[in-house]
Amino acid sequence: MIDLDTVRNHPRRVKEALRAKGLGSPDLVDTLLEVDETRRAAVTELQETQSRQNDLSQQIGTLKREGKDEAAEEIIEKTSQMKETIKRLKDEVQDAETRQEELVLKLPNIPHPSVPVGADESDNEVVETFGNPPTFDFDPAPHWELADRHNLVDLERGAKVTGSGFPFYLGKGARLQRGLLNFFLDRARERGYTEMQSPLFVNPKSAEGTGQLPDKDDLMYEVPRDDFYPIPTAEVPVTNFHRDEILSADDLPRQYCTYSPCWRREAGSYGSEVRGLNRLHQFDKVELVRIVHPDESYRALDELLEDAESALDALDLPYRRLLMCTGDMGFTQAKVYDLEVWSAAQERWLEVSSVSNFEAFQARRMQIRYRPEPEAKPELVHTLNGSGLAFPRIVAALLENNQQPDGSIELPEVLHSYTGFARIEAEA
RNA sequence: GGAGAGGUGGCCGAGUGGUCGAAGGCGCUCCCCUGCUAAGGGAGUAAACGGUGAUGAGCCGUUUCGGGGGUUCGAAUCCCCCCCUCUCCGCCA
């Protein structure tokens, strides 16, 4: 949610943001400002009436205590009419507030000035590429073939048991997942994050807080009977951890890391784009969340990027850093970097992390504030998050990039102590 | 799931229809005193919204005692619904 003051004072900036992100009509802004006027007029009138009523009620109290009942009765008669007026005005204010709330929730975050303006993913900026794609003197197999050959993943049985996109991991496949989990979390902890385990379902308020509702509600699965959503990312529960809180300045920054499965409905395309582990309805991820002082958030964004990239470095995977353009970034972000690993057999880049600064957009929805000084007025924090990292495509890249002529897969050395094995052997 | 108790300011805790935004305590901030420390004295200490100011300070007002609705001229206080916490029972990894 963006600041109402920003809409009032810089309507053009907000309209530009709507255009740049390609989300919603700029007319929203004008409608919102009209509703705001209506609301304020009604509020003022309501408050004036209430003020008069309070005065009169107080007089009644005094008169009754003094035993002047007839005098009190007279005033009561006068006030009783005000009841209806107040009720009517309250309804008007309520209506306007509801409409205003709905409208303001439709306004996307304003992109940071450093974000390139663009229409879609083709306008994203490749900032830097790290590592060298491996070369092979044989035809590298795609990860789904390797996974099959070594019996690491079973998508067919997953589809039988649940549906497509819900994999089983088996044997060394499962152990690799568990190894990655510990590897990522240990690294995050060493880099100053507090480890956390969170609920895996959230209520609508939390989903709204981080911006999954109302805008992208077909991203999430639903549990209507209990009004829960299985989390599409641990960003949701972890960022909402401090919802409706006022932190003291010394509480900042807060840095949390957590492992969680993630569930996403999003109806994907078909074919090789989504084959194997490329796109799943259930996947695992380690998420990094930072809650920081507003002045620090862009420094924190750089650090967060380093946190995620250092894990890729350690795994010795070639990757590149993308700065997302206005048209390809989400509703809630002010600035986003995507990290993509090289998939040697598919010969394409796979997104494994999205590192975002939301500035105060989420904090305003969640009312996460801090008090700059002991007596000072609370101000909104800035929130950030980034994957550190998403498992399936990492696994895909590890398998494809590290395959050997004999069909075995050598794992990077940092993982050996985590997995308990150094290679996935060719079948006997 | 059943039965009971309870949800009040940063925290603890009083308050059962009118000068209660709410006693008292703790904590915190500032000041005084004490050559340091400890102790003591005094003052202050919620948020949101609206109006007025320069979208600052200040001032005026409204709302908020878990949430929503109702009764009343007037609700922390009475009534209804919901949520949450705790205790006991049941069930259960």
A273 DSSP 8-state letter: G
CA of A412 to C1' of B63 (A): 61
Which domain, by its residues, includes A55? 4-104
Please name the nucleotide lying closest to A40, CA to C1'.
Answer: B50
CA distance A318 to A341: 6
Asked if the structure places residue A180 within a domain, the reply is yes
Is A264 a residue of the active site? yes
Indicate if A74 and A210 belong to the same structural domain: no
**Domain end among A63, A78, A104:** A104
Residue A66 has pLDDT above 80, yes or no: no
Q: Which nucleotide is nearest to A53 (CA to C1')?
A: B73
Percent above pLDDT 70 for chain A: 97
Same domain, yes or no: A142 and A92: no
Q: How confident is the model at residue A227 (pLDDT cuts 50, 70, 90)?
A: confident
Question: Is position A115 within any domain?
Answer: no
A181: exposed, middle or buried (C-beta count within 10 Å: 0-12, 13-18, 19+)? middle
- Point out the nucleotide closest to A76 (alpha carbon to C1′): B73
Which residue, among A368, A336, A356, A206, has the nearest Cα to A289 in the 3D structure?
A356
Is A279 designated active site? yes
How many helices and strands in chain A, by DSSP H and E? 13, 17
Contacts of A154 (CB under 8 A, 6+ apart): A167, A168, A169, A170
What is the DSSP-derived secondary structure letter of residue A427? P
CA angle A286, A300, A244 (to 5 degrees): 75
Band of residue A217 on the pLDDT scale cut at 50, 70, 90: low
Answer yes or no: is A110 within a domain: no
Any domain includes A84: yes
User: Same structural domain for residues A339 and A212?
Assistant: yes
A:125-184 Cβ neighbours of strand B under 7 Å: none
What pTM does this model have?
Answer: 0.90
Task: Give the bases of strand B that a protein CB approaches within 7 Å.
Answer: 10, 18-19, 28-29, 45, 47-51, 55, 61-63, 69, 73-74
- List A39, A187, A254, A264, catalytic entry: A264
> Which of A104, A137, A154 is the last residue in one of the domains?
A104
Residues A211 and A310 in one domain: yes
| Catalytic residue check, A393 | yes
Tokens of A165: 């996109």
Residue A417's CB: how many other CB atoms inside 10 A?
A: 11
- CATH for A20: 1.10.287.40
Does some domain include residue A109? no
User: Is the CB of residue A274 inside 7 Å of nucleic acid strand B?
Assistant: no
pLDDT band per the 50, 70, 90 thresholds, residue A362: very high
Which residues are within 8 A (CB) of A158 and not within 5 positions of it... i.e. 6 or more apart? A164, A165, A166, A167, A168
Out of A320, A351, A379, A423, the active site residue is: A351
Catalytic residue (choose from A260, A297, A343, A354): A354
Any idea what the CATH number is for the domain that residue A232 is in? 3.30.930.10
Q: Are residues A8 and A129 in the same domain?
A: no
Of A359, A363, A354, nearest to A297 (Cα)? A359
3-class state of residue A125 by DSSP: strand
Whether A377 maps to a domain, the answer reads yes
pLDDT tens, residue by residue, A290-303: 999 999 999 999 99
Give dist(CA A179, CA A412) in Å, integer: 12
For chain A residues 26-85, those near strand B by a CB cutoff of 7 A are: 40, 43-44, 46-48, 50-51, 53-54, 56-58, 60-62, 64-65, 76, 79-80, 82-83
| Mean of per-residue pLDDT scores for chain A | 90
For the CA atoms of chain A, what is the radius of gyration?
A: 27
CA A340 to chain centre: 19
The half-sphere exposure of A13 on its side-chain side, counting CA atoms within 13 A, is: 14
Kindly tell me if the per-residue pLDDT of A98 is higher than 90.
no
A418 Cβ neighbours under 8 A, 6+ residues apart: A179, A180, A182, A183
Query: pLDDT tens for residues A157-203?
Result: 999 999 889 999 999 999 999 999 999 999 999 999 999 999 999 98
The domain total for chain A is 2
Q: What's the whole-number mean pLDDT along residues A250-273?
A: 83
> Can you tell me the distance from the alpha carbon of A419 to that of A146, in angstroms, rounded to the nearest whole number?
18
- Is residue A301 in some structural domain? yes
pLDDT at position A63 is: 81
Q: Which of A178, A191, A275, A279 is catalytic?
A: A279
pLDDT for A176 equals 96
Quote the Cα angle for A355-A285-A157, to 5°.
Answer: 140
Each residue of A171-181: pLDDT tens digit? 999 999 999 99
What's the confidence (pLDDT) of residue A310? 96
Beta bridge partners of A257: A195, A288
Residues 352-391 of A with CB under 7 A from strand B: 374-375, 377-378
- Dihedral angle over CA of A51, A56, A61, A63, nearest 10: 150
User: How distant, in Å, are the alpha carbons of A210, A213, A237, A244, A252 from that of A382?
Assistant: 12, 19, 16, 14, 10
C-alpha A144/C-alpha A273 separation (Å) is 12
CA–C1' span, A375 to B36, in Å? 29
Does A30 share its domain with A159?
no
Please check whether residues A276 and A419 belong to one and the same domain.
Answer: yes
- The answer as to whether A113 is a domain residue is no
Are A334 and A209 within one domain?
A: yes
A154 and A88 assigned to the same domain:
no
Residue A134 and residue A68 share a domain: no
With a cut of 0.85, is the ipTM above it? no
Q: Is the domain of A93 the same as that of A127?
A: no
Question: Are A395 and A287 part of one and the same domain?
Answer: yes
